[in-house]
């Protein structure tokens, strides 16, 4: 078993392509993780996901956050950007894929 390409792509790019919609990770217990934590904790995620360990790092998949402006990362607590929610900042699709910080 390997880490799904969709999960790796989400961590790597942060935004869905095509479309430029913001992605987040969903764990098998239903928690949301931001892609920043996905990148920082990739070793934990890879280990828990491949071995199906229920320690909070078992990532089930990557989802687009369409309009939930109140979605926060279960690990760092940061707001997860949404495509159409009432965010403070505007998301520009042309930024997709080049905003890893």
Number of residues that bind Zn ion (CB under 5 A): 5
Shortest distance in whole angstroms from residue 33 CB to Zn ion: 6
Distance CA 10, CA 24 (A): 7
Strand arrangement of the beta sheet that strand 32-33 belongs to = 32-33, 23-27, 59-64
Closer residue to Zn ion (CB): 21 or 35: 35
Closer residue to Zn ion (CB): 20 or 38: 38
Residues 10 to 69 in contact with Zn ion, rule: CB under 5 A: 34, 37
Shortest distance in whole angstroms from residue 51 CB to Zn ion: 22
Shortest distance in whole angstroms from residue 66 CB to Zn ion: 19
Q: Where are the beta strands (DSSP E) in the chain?
A: 23-27, 32-33, 59-64
Residues 67 to 86 in contact with Zn ion, rule: CB under 5 A: 73, 75-76
Adjacent-strand bridge partners of 63: 24
Distance CA 25, CA 13 (A): 12
Q: What is the binding site for Zn ion (CB under 5 A)?
A: 34, 37, 73, 75-76
């Amino acid at each position: 078993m390997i880490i799904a390409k969709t999960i790796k792509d989400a961590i790597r790019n942060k935004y869905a392509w095509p479309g430029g919609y913001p992605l987040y990770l969903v764990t098998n217990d239903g928690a949301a993780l931001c892609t920043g934590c996905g990148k920082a904790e990739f070793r934990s995620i890879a280990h828990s996901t491949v071995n199906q360990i229920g320690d909070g790092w078992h990532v089930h998949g990557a989802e687009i956050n369409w309009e939930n402006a109140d979605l926060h990362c279960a690990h760092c607590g940061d707001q997860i950007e949404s495509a159409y929610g009432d965010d403070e900042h505007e998301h520009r699709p042309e930024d997709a894929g080049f905003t890893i910080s």
